[in-house]
Structure 1
Amino acid sequence: MLKKLGAEFVGTFWLVFGGCGAAVLAAGFPELGIGFVGVSLAFGLTVLTMAYAVGHISGGHFNPAVSLGLALGNRFSWGELPGYWAAQVLGSFCAAGVLYVIASGAPGFEAGGFASNGFGELSPGGYSMTAALVAEIVLTAGFLIVILGATSKNAPAGFAPIAIGLALTLIHLISIPVTNTSVNPARSTSVAFYAETAAVPQLWLFWVAPLIGAAIGALVWKLLLDDDATE
């Protein structure tokens, strides 16, 4: 079990450090900024690379919503869920702390939003709370369907990390303007505490919506799409 938790810690650290690091350090760099597309690719690549690196140890969740959805989809033990959530959140906080140390080394550094999520005034596009809630629920549900399908025993072997990484990239391409993209409560929680905005009071949405979305995605898969169940 310790190896599984260590893998989830390392994988979540990499996701937050790589994805949020791309947003904080590289997205707005004068003339060389990677923009929304670059940040979207960074998040997708973090999941893809760590899924191959440690997915065989822990399953490669790196996200409390994914762990919940997999438990609901009968792919993961409920007894392991608290430990996974703790490892994911801890890995996320460590990554955010390391990122802050690096980012604060730049002259004139201001944390600003620090890659945090938000709605209303904290939404990149000024989207409402309702829009943010719906986007996070729908996109997390879709993410879980991709994960459950790509890891099905009837799916082509060895390609799941690619499908999951590309799905996360697509999710970011859709929703960075809406919420700065969460679909991951751990990712949202850590960076919010380093932001100079009111990100922390809005954190509730970035736990509630992804967890609801994960439950919906797992339910849709089990009721309508689970080809394993027909074997």
Structure 2
Amino acid sequence: MRESLKRYSAEFVGTFVLVLCSCGAWLELKAVGYVGVALAVGLATAAMGYALGQVSGAHLNPAVSLGMYLDRRIDARDLFGYWAGQFLGALAGAAMVFLLVALSNVGVATAADLGCNGFGSRSPVGVWLFGAILVEVAISCILTLVALGSTGGRGREQSSGVARGVALAGVTMFAAPLTRASANPARSFGPALMMAFAGDPVPLGQLWVFIVAPFVGASLAAAIHGFLKPGAKPIKK
């Protein structure tokens, strides 16, 4: 039980840092641009992979945890424990960013300020529902596939963070102008709930897309990985 609590706590801490860096970078979008946002989330993921990889694997993402469960890396109890840590960590990270906004001269936070994911009028380029679903399924599939392929061997949990950080930075550069690049239900949940608290319910109303689509993408990644991963017998040359 104690070891399980350590894993779930590690997921809380790691997801807190990821959302803090991600949403914080969106506050400075004019200064850092989309590339800066992508680097912020990528570097945070890589750093947390090294810091927490040996404790919990540093999933930092409910979709990645679902992929690990479908690939039989974790059991159902750990899946729900990881989800609890991740969603609570994301909410804490978003609350921290919201507090920083409230204590600064930025003014009342808007959806763009907290980096809330969205489609339609809440998309930087106006991508609509079907396009947003396609984008989120695709980038979640890529990210989970990288997570599955870069872990599994003894001692690889920490170095996997670098691979996942690079992958996350890459898909964020592509998807940030479209949906503000979720690929992570917890990362979408925290800012959307804080915006609802601030009186803007639209991100919370659109949240279902950024929960369902990443889970679909993760399930697709698990199926692809299961088909492609090497069997027990080595390939003869």
For normalisation by structure 1, the TM-score amounts to 0.92
1:159 Cα deviation from its structure 2 partner: 3.2
Structure 1: distance between partners of 2:157 and 2:98: 38
- Which ranges in structure 2 are unaligned for 5 or more consecutive residues? none
Q: Is the 8 A contact 1:5 1:84 kept in 2?
A: yes
Q: Is the 8 A contact 1:112 1:197 kept in 2?
A: no
Q: How does 1:156-167 map to 2 (within 5 A)?
A: 159-167=159-167
Runs of 4+ aligned residues of structure 1 deviating over 4 Å after TM superposition are: 154-158, 228-231
% identity of equivalent residues: 38
User: Which one of 2, 6, 23 corresponds to residue 3 of structure 1?
Assistant: 6
**Structure 2 partner of 1:147:** 147
- Which ranges in structure 1 are unaligned for 5 or more consecutive residues? none
**Partner amino acid for 2:24?**
G
**Structure 2 partner of 1:212:** 216
Alignment CA distance shift 1:117-1:230 (3 Å)? farther
1:154 Cα deviation from its structure 2 partner: 9.6
**Partner amino acid for 1:226?**
K
**Structure 2 partner of 1:173:** 173
Structure 1: distance between partners of 2:145 and 2:74: 15
Q: Report the secondary structure of 2:202's partner residue.
A: coil
Q: How does 1:64-213 map to 2 (within 5 A)?
A: 64-113=62-111, 114-153=114-153, 159-195=159-195, 196=200, 198-213=202-217
1:156 Cα deviation from its structure 2 partner: 7.5
Aligned residues: 225
Q: Report the secondary structure of 1:227's partner residue.
A: coil
1:152 Cα deviation from its structure 2 partner: 3.9
Structure 1: distance between partners of 2:155 and 2:71: 16
Alignment CA distance shift 1:155-1:89 (3 Å)? closer
For normalisation by structure 2, the TM-score amounts to 0.90
Structure 1: distance between partners of 2:109 and 2:52: 31
1:2 Cα deviation from its structure 2 partner: 0.9
